[in-house]
A and B are shown apart, each in its own frame.
Chain A
């Protein structure tokens, strides 16, 4: 621990809980922000998981009355919206924040202030969305919020969706710009682009995708916002509006979004598989090329979500071919991972089990994706449980397995302790088997005619067995998650302390420093001599990285409460707009005034931030030397 952290610890013993809380509210340190994202995303993952269990309870038997009609639609909508925006994306940012600066040999991200702001916007956006439960009901339009259903036929819940996602989305966009600049401008000397760990490449492409995919969502949400609260006509057919415009805008965002979710997982798999095979990643340049190609192609395929809208055979055929093309770079990746393991020495740690479980599962999800790309066949699959099966295979089997692999892999670097391997393996098996039991039958349910987003199904249509199996599987996954929570609690209390090179066979720069990483990351910025910089150094007989600069004082940015306050202001503005909404007539003035105050406060805080110069603080050379010595 550094002097700064030590003094914080000492004073927190004096001042207690409030001071500890203040540390977290004002932090601009990427490592702490990573932990915030991890627990924020984790919390919403649990909420989304409970929503899933409620759905599966309702669907376990036909004609069930546990959760029906609008209530079911609310739970279903919140499950999807929460999992994608409030669980998967934040957990991805958790991994990126925890790892990227360390992997490129930097001391922080390019914009620490904006980093913190991004987190608080995500978190408060998620809170705004979930307060809908207490204020008249959650949104019930599906995570896709098609119009005019969402803008004219549903209630106030939709306003929470619109504003909650605007807030969270703004946070995401900031995070993306931050990582783009960090990766491009702040790599250690010697780390050319083609020597970066693959996780950095996938994060780079992901960030570019976010940058170009989220603005359409922002615009679309503003259109729904204007239609719902100010009675505009974007989607109002009576005055010339057109609901299909929303579909285009949403999917121009929505398709890249799913690659935003999965590319970081691909990056994690590349790291985990290589490390636990004791081999370098096979076909590094192909992997980079495939990543960039996937990113580029992801903007070219959105109409495959709209094959049944009636856009015509030309549009459908063109987008069908484009969609099939994405299978090629994805396939390249799968084979490169398999051949990374070929000739290696495979360690079956929990992290690697998730990575290995990912491979066949994602392949299955990918092939059903190619099946969906055929428009006439898609006319049967679309909006049925076949699609539900497909996207859970790629999102749960792809993204979540990847994230779990990453969490187990990098936990020691983030927290300084190893997670328990036995409990980890129990989590893996319950989650993996439960997953397949839940979602494999759903392919057949869809083919047999069961549409998605149905709160019940009729008896006598042969849907009973598939649904029952699916519901049982869901509880299997729940057991796995509970065991993971126990694991975290138990090891935080008395888990094994981790070494810097926690797994002993680390290849990349994050393993060359202590666990958890010290406040300044690197005592001296390392000199990078090739791919897998740390492994290279170890094979040459060195225990540490060759430094690229002399030891000196390190300058750090100061903590600040302004990002938190800015997010609070925008939250106030959101609630203002939500309460201004009046389906019967003019928006309520009280709500509009509240919104104006919130926006005004935000502008004021931006002004303060512009005027107030942050001079930061220094961690002195002697301090650093002492900490480094302690860690040995």
Chain B
């Protein structure tokens, strides 16, 4: 049913798709991302419907800071690039390089999360909490869900890299690294939409 005895056979190109299991993981994960797209789509639609329902609380215009958000965006976009380098290294069976690029990705992800926690903390100080208004509930849910996804991705890539010291790059482990990178790209794309629909529209749209 599977071909697991390939460790060390570095001649096999595209190790992430070399076995049936790998192909299945690859396809299955793309489908999963399809479902996640609809999930975030629903969160976005709700946010758009509620974005000016500020009750007695602050509005987007009053809260958001373009420089901070811009910095977060650069960090996350760069982390996506580093994950690309990681996978390129993986395809060449360069475990050390792959790990280096993935660890940088993790660090950038942590930096993103740190900035987000700082941002939320500032908002709480300005009396913009989860229960303040419909807008606030929608904001924290959308951006918070994305943040949870980033956190999960950071943990996932970390544990995979820790395992990779022992297991290396094989036709069994390669699909896992590949799928984690796909996930990371996905949450990066979602962030681009958040940046545009939530922050830019909020600050500039008024």
Contact = CB atoms under 8 A, between A and B. Distances in A.
Interface of A: 107-108, 110-111, 173, 177-178, 180-181, 184-186, 211-212, 214-216, 218-220, 222-223, 226-227, 230-234, 236, 238-242, 245, 249, 252, 554-557, 603, 607, 610-611, 613, 615-616
Interface string B46-82: 1001100111000000000000000000000000000
A615 B55 CA distance: 57
B67 to A, nearest CB: 28
Contact of A226 (B24, B38, B49, B137): B137
Nearest to A557: B1
Given A173-B35, A211-B34, A613-B172, A239 B53 contact: yes
B163 A610 contact: yes
A233 B31 contact: no
B28 A181 contact: yes
Interface stretch (B95-103, B116-124, B128-136, B181-189): B128-136
Contacts, number: 121
Given A177-B31, A215-B36, A607-B159, A241 B1 contact: no
A611 B176 CA distance: 11
B50 A234 contact: yes
Given A181-B27, A610-B176, 15 more contacts: A108-B1, A111-B28, A177-B32, A186-B24, A211-B31, A211-B34, A212-B38, A226-B141, A233-B55, A239-B55, A240-B54, A241-B50, A555-B1, A607-B159, A610-B160
Contact of B46 (A223, A239, A610, A615): A223
B contact face: mostly helix, strand, loop, or mixed: helix
Contacts of B27: 180-181, 184-185
Contact of B49 (A111, A173, A242): A242
A contact face: mostly helix, strand, loop, or mixed: helix
A387 B4 CA distance: 55
Contacts of A556: 1
Contacts of A239: 53, 55, 131-134
Contacts of B55: 233, 238-240
Given A234-B138, A242-B49, A218 B39 contact: yes
A603 B35 CA distance: 21
A555 B2 CA distance: 8
B4 A615 contact: yes
A240 B132 CA distance: 10
A71 to B, nearest CB: 32
A555 B5 CA distance: 13
B35 A212 contact: yes
A370 to B, nearest CB: 28
Given A185-B20, A232-B137, A242 B35 contact: no
Interface string B157-169: 0011001000000
Most A CB atoms within 10 A — which of B32, B138, B159?
B138
B203 interface: no
B49 A245 contact: yes
B42 interface: yes
Interface string B33-45: 0111011001100
Contacts of A180: 27-28, 31
Interface string B1-40: 1101000000000000000100110011001101110110
B1 A616 contact: yes
Contacts of B31: 177, 180-181, 211
A394 B34 CA distance: 29
List the 3 closest pairs (A to B, CB-CB), nearest first: A240-B53, A240-B134, A232-B137
A219 B24 contact: no
Contacts of A181: 24, 27-28, 31
B50 A242 contact: yes
Nearest to A239: B55
B19 to A, nearest CB: 11
Nearest to A110: B24
Contacts of B138: 234
A216 B134 contact: no
B25 to A, nearest CB: 8
Nearest to A237: B134
B42 to A, nearest CB: 4
A226 B43 CA distance: 13
A476 to B, nearest CB: 41
B28 A110 contact: yes
A380 B59 CA distance: 42
Given A215-B35, A223-B141, A610-B160, A233 B42 contact: no
Contacts of B134: 233-234, 236, 239-242
Contacts of A216: 38-39, 42
Contacts of A242: 49-50, 53, 134
27 contacts: A181-B31, A184-B27, A185-B24, A212-B34, A215-B38, A223-B46, A226-B141, A230-B130, A230-B131, A232-B130, A233-B134, A234-B46, A238-B55, A239-B53, A239-B55, A240-B53, A240-B134, A241-B53, A242-B49, A242-B50, A245-B49, A245-B50, A249-B42, A555-B2, A557-B1, A607-B159, A615-B4
Contacts of A220: 42
A610 B159 contact: yes
B92 to A, nearest CB: 24
A96 B23 CA distance: 22
A445 B160 CA distance: 61
Contacts of B34: 211-212
B162 to A, nearest CB: 9
B131 A232 contact: yes
A110 B134 CA distance: 42
A554 B1 contact: yes
Nearest to B24: A110
B35 A249 contact: no
A211 B27 CA distance: 13
Contacts of B42: 215-216, 219-220, 249, 252
A292 to B, nearest CB: 16
B151 to A, nearest CB: 11
Nearest to A249: B42
